[in-house]
Amino acid sequence: MEFSLESHEIAPYIRVYTNLFPDVAEVLEVIYEHERTTTKDPDAPRYFKPYRNWYTFGRVTDTEESSYQSNSEDPNFISQKNLANRIIQGRELIIKDYCKTYGVIEPEGSDFHIQSAVNFGEYEPDFEMDHDKSIRTESIYGIQKPLAMNYHTDFEIKKMCRPEVNFLLTCNFYWNDDYEGGEIVFYSSAGLISYKPNAGEVVIFPSGSPYFPLDGDCYFHCANAVKKKRKYFSRNYLMYNHIPTEEMLSLESAYPRGHSPRGPDSFYDSLFNQLMIDYSNDTVSVHPIIKKLYKKYASDEKITAREIELFD
Protein backbone atom coordinates (compact mmCIF):
# COMPACT_ATOMS: atom_id res chain seq x y z
CA MET A 1 0.00 0.00 0.00
CA GLU A 2 1.34 3.44 -0.97
CA PHE A 3 1.63 6.11 1.69
CA SER A 4 0.13 9.56 1.30
CA LEU A 5 2.27 12.16 3.05
CA GLU A 6 -0.05 14.95 4.20
CA SER A 7 0.97 17.01 7.20
CA HIS A 8 0.51 20.24 9.12
CA GLU A 9 2.26 21.97 12.00
CA ILE A 10 0.37 22.45 15.28
CA ALA A 11 3.22 24.30 17.01
CA PRO A 12 6.87 25.03 16.19
CA TYR A 13 8.62 21.73 15.34
CA ILE A 14 5.50 19.67 16.23
CA ARG A 15 4.02 18.15 13.08
CA VAL A 16 1.01 15.91 12.47
CA TYR A 17 0.88 13.51 9.50
CA THR A 18 -2.50 12.26 8.28
CA ASN A 19 -3.93 9.67 5.87
CA LEU A 20 -1.00 7.28 6.06
CA PHE A 21 -3.29 4.51 7.31
CA PRO A 22 -6.73 4.95 5.70
CA ASP A 23 -7.45 1.36 6.77
CA VAL A 24 -6.81 2.14 10.45
CA ALA A 25 -9.86 0.07 11.46
CA GLU A 26 -8.22 -3.00 9.91
CA VAL A 27 -4.95 -2.15 11.66
CA LEU A 28 -6.80 -2.12 14.98
CA GLU A 29 -8.26 -5.55 14.26
CA VAL A 30 -4.72 -6.92 13.85
CA ILE A 31 -3.77 -5.35 17.21
CA TYR A 32 -6.92 -6.64 18.94
CA GLU A 33 -6.50 -10.16 17.51
CA HIS A 34 -2.91 -10.33 18.71
CA GLU A 35 -4.04 -9.24 22.16
CA ARG A 36 -6.84 -11.82 22.29
CA THR A 37 -4.73 -14.67 20.93
CA THR A 38 -1.65 -14.21 23.10
CA THR A 39 -3.71 -13.61 26.23
CA LYS A 40 -5.33 -17.00 25.69
CA ASP A 41 -2.16 -18.75 24.52
CA PRO A 42 1.21 -16.92 24.89
CA ASP A 43 2.88 -19.59 22.74
CA ALA A 44 0.53 -19.16 19.78
CA PRO A 45 2.17 -18.20 16.46
CA ARG A 46 2.75 -14.44 16.51
CA TYR A 47 5.13 -11.84 15.15
CA PHE A 48 4.76 -9.59 18.20
CA LYS A 49 5.56 -10.83 21.68
CA PRO A 50 2.74 -11.09 24.25
CA TYR A 51 2.02 -7.85 26.07
CA ARG A 52 4.05 -7.12 29.20
CA ASN A 53 3.66 -4.48 31.90
CA TRP A 54 4.85 -1.01 30.94
CA TYR A 55 5.69 0.92 34.08
CA THR A 56 2.43 1.34 36.02
CA PHE A 57 0.16 2.91 33.44
CA GLY A 58 -0.12 0.31 30.69
CA ARG A 59 1.35 -2.54 28.65
CA VAL A 60 3.68 -2.83 25.66
CA THR A 61 4.75 -5.39 23.05
CA ASP A 62 7.37 -5.38 20.31
CA THR A 63 8.83 -7.47 17.50
CA GLU A 64 12.25 -8.23 18.99
CA GLU A 65 13.20 -11.87 19.47
CA SER A 66 10.31 -13.12 17.35
CA SER A 67 12.45 -14.34 14.43
CA TYR A 68 12.12 -17.94 15.60
CA GLN A 69 8.75 -18.00 13.85
CA SER A 70 9.96 -16.27 10.70
CA ASN A 71 8.60 -18.99 8.42
CA SER A 72 5.20 -19.26 10.04
CA GLU A 73 2.21 -19.49 7.69
CA ASP A 74 -0.27 -18.67 10.46
CA PRO A 75 -2.66 -15.87 9.33
CA ASN A 76 -2.14 -13.87 12.54
CA PHE A 77 1.62 -14.05 12.18
CA ILE A 78 1.45 -12.92 8.55
CA SER A 79 -0.92 -10.01 9.24
CA GLN A 80 1.23 -8.81 12.14
CA LYS A 81 4.41 -9.04 10.10
CA ASN A 82 2.81 -7.13 7.20
CA LEU A 83 1.68 -4.40 9.60
CA ALA A 84 5.16 -4.16 11.14
CA ASN A 85 6.66 -3.73 7.67
CA ARG A 86 4.16 -0.98 6.85
CA ILE A 87 5.07 0.86 10.06
CA ILE A 88 8.79 0.55 9.23
CA GLN A 89 8.21 2.00 5.77
CA GLY A 90 5.90 4.73 7.05
CA ARG A 91 8.17 5.94 9.83
CA GLU A 92 11.16 6.11 7.47
CA LEU A 93 9.18 8.31 5.05
CA ILE A 94 7.84 10.55 7.80
CA ILE A 95 11.18 11.05 9.54
CA LYS A 96 12.86 11.75 6.19
CA ASP A 97 10.18 14.30 5.28
CA TYR A 98 10.38 15.95 8.71
CA CYS A 99 14.18 16.22 8.53
CA LYS A 100 13.90 17.82 5.08
CA THR A 101 11.17 20.24 6.26
CA TYR A 102 13.10 21.44 9.32
CA GLY A 103 16.65 21.10 8.03
CA VAL A 104 17.74 18.35 10.43
CA ILE A 105 21.30 17.50 9.39
CA GLU A 106 23.36 14.61 10.72
CA PRO A 107 26.45 15.99 12.51
CA GLU A 108 29.73 14.16 11.98
CA GLY A 109 29.86 10.98 14.04
CA SER A 110 26.23 11.13 15.15
CA ASP A 111 25.11 8.04 13.16
CA PHE A 112 21.38 8.69 12.71
CA HIS A 113 19.28 5.53 12.84
CA ILE A 114 15.73 4.42 13.67
CA GLN A 115 15.30 1.77 16.33
CA SER A 116 14.96 -1.69 14.81
CA ALA A 117 11.92 -2.98 16.68
CA VAL A 118 8.28 -2.10 16.04
CA ASN A 119 6.10 -1.80 19.10
CA PHE A 120 2.53 -1.33 20.29
CA GLY A 121 1.92 0.46 23.57
CA GLU A 122 -1.33 0.87 25.42
CA TYR A 123 -2.53 3.07 28.25
CA GLU A 124 -4.93 1.38 30.63
CA PRO A 125 -8.14 3.31 31.34
CA ASP A 126 -8.64 4.98 34.72
CA PHE A 127 -4.97 4.98 35.71
CA GLU A 128 -3.90 8.31 37.24
CA MET A 129 -0.56 9.39 38.61
CA ASP A 130 -0.65 9.63 42.39
CA HIS A 131 0.50 13.22 42.56
CA ASP A 132 -0.75 16.49 43.93
CA LYS A 133 -3.17 18.31 41.64
CA SER A 134 -0.64 21.14 41.24
CA ILE A 135 1.14 19.15 38.52
CA ARG A 136 -2.01 18.13 36.67
CA THR A 137 -2.83 19.62 33.31
CA GLU A 138 -5.48 22.33 33.35
CA SER A 139 -7.89 22.86 30.44
CA ILE A 140 -9.28 26.21 29.32
CA TYR A 141 -12.43 25.29 31.24
CA GLY A 142 -10.51 25.15 34.51
CA ILE A 143 -10.89 21.38 34.87
CA GLN A 144 -7.92 19.50 36.29
CA LYS A 145 -6.89 16.65 33.98
CA PRO A 146 -5.04 13.79 35.72
CA LEU A 147 -1.84 12.56 34.11
CA ALA A 148 -0.89 9.05 33.02
CA MET A 149 2.77 10.11 32.99
CA ASN A 150 4.56 13.27 34.07
CA TYR A 151 6.29 15.84 31.85
CA HIS A 152 9.56 14.48 30.47
CA THR A 153 11.75 14.26 27.41
CA ASP A 154 12.41 11.03 25.54
CA PHE A 155 15.99 12.24 25.17
CA GLU A 156 17.55 10.98 28.40
CA ILE A 157 18.88 14.11 30.04
CA LYS A 158 20.47 12.02 32.78
CA LYS A 159 22.81 10.63 30.08
CA MET A 160 23.65 13.89 28.31
CA CYS A 161 26.93 14.36 30.19
CA ARG A 162 28.64 11.37 28.59
CA PRO A 163 28.74 9.72 25.13
CA GLU A 164 25.52 7.75 24.71
CA VAL A 165 23.11 6.61 22.04
CA ASN A 166 20.15 8.91 22.63
CA PHE A 167 16.93 10.24 21.11
CA LEU A 168 16.62 13.09 18.58
CA LEU A 169 13.06 12.79 17.20
CA THR A 170 9.95 11.07 18.57
CA CYS A 171 7.45 9.74 16.02
CA ASN A 172 4.21 8.33 17.49
CA PHE A 173 1.56 6.45 15.49
CA TYR A 174 -1.92 6.64 17.07
CA TRP A 175 -4.29 3.80 16.25
CA ASN A 176 -7.55 4.71 18.00
CA ASP A 177 -9.35 7.73 19.41
CA ASP A 178 -12.45 6.15 20.98
CA TYR A 179 -11.31 6.89 24.53
CA GLU A 180 -11.83 9.92 26.74
CA GLY A 181 -8.85 12.09 27.67
CA GLY A 182 -5.49 10.76 26.59
CA GLU A 183 -4.24 14.02 25.08
CA ILE A 184 -0.54 14.51 24.53
CA VAL A 185 0.53 17.84 26.06
CA PHE A 186 3.68 19.61 24.95
CA TYR A 187 5.65 22.18 26.89
CA SER A 188 8.31 24.43 25.39
CA SER A 189 9.23 28.08 25.85
CA ALA A 190 6.09 28.86 23.80
CA GLY A 191 3.89 27.44 26.56
CA LEU A 192 1.56 24.44 26.78
CA ILE A 193 -0.08 22.84 23.76
CA SER A 194 -2.65 20.04 24.16
CA TYR A 195 -3.57 17.73 21.29
CA LYS A 196 -5.66 14.57 21.00
CA PRO A 197 -4.60 12.69 17.85
CA ASN A 198 -7.24 11.21 15.57
CA ALA A 199 -7.07 7.50 14.78
CA GLY A 200 -4.40 6.88 12.16
CA GLU A 201 -2.49 10.12 12.73
CA VAL A 202 1.24 10.36 13.35
CA VAL A 203 2.75 13.06 15.57
CA ILE A 204 6.47 13.81 15.30
CA PHE A 205 8.37 16.23 17.50
CA PRO A 206 11.80 16.92 19.07
CA SER A 207 12.79 14.33 21.69
CA GLY A 208 14.56 16.95 23.83
CA SER A 209 18.14 16.80 22.56
CA PRO A 210 20.12 20.03 23.01
CA TYR A 211 21.18 19.60 19.36
CA PHE A 212 17.65 19.93 17.93
CA PRO A 213 16.23 22.44 17.69
CA LEU A 214 19.33 24.61 17.76
CA ASP A 215 17.64 27.63 19.34
CA GLY A 216 18.14 26.24 22.86
CA ASP A 217 14.55 25.16 23.43
CA CYS A 218 13.68 21.87 25.14
CA TYR A 219 10.48 20.01 24.32
CA PHE A 220 8.78 18.28 27.23
CA HIS A 221 5.62 16.25 26.88
CA CYS A 222 3.21 14.30 29.05
CA ALA A 223 0.14 12.11 28.52
CA ASN A 224 -3.20 12.80 30.13
CA ALA A 225 -4.96 9.82 31.69
CA VAL A 226 -7.48 7.91 29.56
CA LYS A 227 -11.01 6.91 30.43
CA LYS A 228 -13.52 4.34 29.14
CA LYS A 229 -11.21 2.46 26.70
CA ARG A 230 -7.54 1.69 26.15
CA LYS A 231 -5.36 3.96 24.06
CA TYR A 232 -3.18 2.19 21.45
CA PHE A 233 -0.15 3.69 19.74
CA SER A 234 3.34 2.87 18.43
CA ARG A 235 6.50 4.71 19.48
CA ASN A 236 9.33 5.33 17.02
CA TYR A 237 12.56 7.25 17.45
CA LEU A 238 15.31 8.75 15.37
CA MET A 239 18.40 7.86 17.43
CA TYR A 240 21.91 9.25 17.28
CA ASN A 241 25.30 9.14 18.99
CA HIS A 242 25.18 11.98 21.51
CA ILE A 243 28.63 13.58 21.79
CA PRO A 244 28.68 15.82 24.89
CA THR A 245 30.25 19.26 24.91
CA GLU A 246 33.00 20.13 27.36
CA GLU A 247 30.42 21.90 29.52
CA MET A 248 28.23 18.79 29.58
CA LEU A 249 31.19 16.60 30.51
CA SER A 250 32.08 18.93 33.37
CA LEU A 251 28.57 18.57 34.84
CA GLU A 252 28.52 14.76 34.93
CA SER A 253 29.08 14.65 38.68
CA ALA A 254 27.17 17.83 39.51
CA TYR A 255 23.64 16.46 39.24
CA PRO A 256 23.74 12.65 39.22
CA ARG A 257 20.42 10.88 39.01
CA GLY A 258 18.80 10.74 42.41
CA HIS A 259 20.71 13.75 43.69
CA SER A 260 18.67 16.55 45.30
CA PRO A 261 20.63 19.82 45.28
CA ARG A 262 19.87 22.33 47.98
CA GLY A 263 17.79 25.36 47.14
CA PRO A 264 14.47 25.99 45.38
CA ASP A 265 14.84 22.90 43.18
CA SER A 266 15.63 20.51 46.04
CA PHE A 267 12.45 18.47 45.57
CA TYR A 268 13.70 17.06 42.25
CA ASP A 269 15.21 13.66 42.89
CA SER A 270 15.18 12.41 39.31
CA LEU A 271 16.23 13.56 35.86
CA PHE A 272 13.42 11.60 34.22
CA ASN A 273 10.51 13.81 35.26
CA GLN A 274 12.32 17.09 34.84
CA LEU A 275 9.38 19.49 34.74
CA MET A 276 6.90 20.58 37.40
CA ILE A 277 3.95 22.89 36.80
CA ASP A 278 2.37 24.73 39.71
CA TYR A 279 -0.96 26.16 38.60
CA SER A 280 -1.54 27.80 41.96
CA ASN A 281 1.31 30.21 41.11
CA ASP A 282 1.14 29.90 37.31
CA THR A 283 4.80 28.92 37.25
CA VAL A 284 6.96 26.24 35.70
CA SER A 285 10.10 24.89 37.35
CA VAL A 286 12.77 22.80 35.69
CA HIS A 287 15.78 20.91 36.99
CA PRO A 288 18.89 23.12 37.40
CA ILE A 289 20.94 21.08 34.92
CA ILE A 290 18.37 21.98 32.24
CA LYS A 291 18.61 25.65 33.14
CA LYS A 292 22.36 25.41 32.55
CA LEU A 293 22.31 23.58 29.23
CA TYR A 294 19.18 24.84 27.44
CA LYS A 295 19.54 28.57 26.97
CA LYS A 296 15.81 29.33 26.77
CA TYR A 297 15.44 28.04 30.33
CA ALA A 298 18.39 29.94 31.79
CA SER A 299 16.30 32.88 33.00
CA ASP A 300 14.94 32.95 36.53
CA GLU A 301 11.84 34.77 35.33
CA LYS A 302 8.56 33.06 36.06
CA ILE A 303 7.01 31.30 33.08
CA THR A 304 3.24 31.42 32.88
CA ALA A 305 1.73 27.94 32.61
CA ARG A 306 -1.31 28.13 30.35
CA GLU A 307 -2.61 25.35 28.19
CA ILE A 308 -3.95 25.92 24.68
CA GLU A 309 -6.55 23.46 23.39
CA LEU A 310 -6.33 22.70 19.68
CA PHE A 311 -9.39 21.93 17.60
CA ASP A 312 -9.65 20.97 13.92
Closest CA to 154 of 63, 242, 254: 242
Helix 75-102 × helix 24-40 angle, to 10°: 130
- The tens digit of pLDDT for each residue in 80-125 reads 999 999 999 999 999 999 999 999 988 888 899 999 999 999 999 9
The amino acid occupying position 180 is E
pTM above 0.75, yes or no: yes
What pLDDT, on the 0 to 100 scale, is given for residue 272?
60
Question: What is the model's pLDDT at position 279?
Answer: 63
- pLDDT of the residue at 139: 38
As a CATH number, domain 6-309 is: 2.60.120.620
pLDDT at 136: 42
**Per-residue DSSP letters for the chain?**
-----EEEEEETTEEEEESS-TTHHHHHHHHHHHHHHHHH-TTSS-SSPPPEEETTTEEEEE-TT-GGGTT---HHHHHHHHHHHHHHHHHHHHHHHHHHHHT----TT---EE-S--EEEEEPTT----S-GGGSEE-TTS-EE-EEEEEE-SS-GGGTTS-EEEEEEEEEEE----SEE--EEEEETTEEEEE-PPTT-EEEEE-S-TTSSTTS---EEEEE-EESS-EEEEEEEEEEEE---HHHHHTTTTS-TT---SSTTTT---SSS-EEEETTTTEEEE-HHHHHHSGGG---S-----EEE---
CA distance 122 to 52: 10
What confidence score (pLDDT) does residue 64 get?
63
Residue 150's pLDDT is 81
What gap in Å lies between CA 173 and CA 203, rounded to an integer?
7
pLDDT given for residue 265 in this prediction: 46
Q: What are the domain boundaries of the chain?
A: 6-309
Q: What is the pLDDT of residue 184?
A: 95
pLDDT score for 70: 63
Residue-wise pLDDT for 131-155, tens only, equals: 544 344 443 334 457 888 888 899 9
CB atoms within 10 A of CB 90: 21
- What is the rounded CA–CA span in Å between residue 149 and residue 151? 7
- Residue 27, pLDDT score: 96
CA gyration radius for the chain?
20
Low pLDDT (below 70) residues in the chain: 1-3, 64-71, 130-144, 255-273, 278-282, 299-312
CA-wise closest residue to 202 among 99, 90, 115, 97: 90
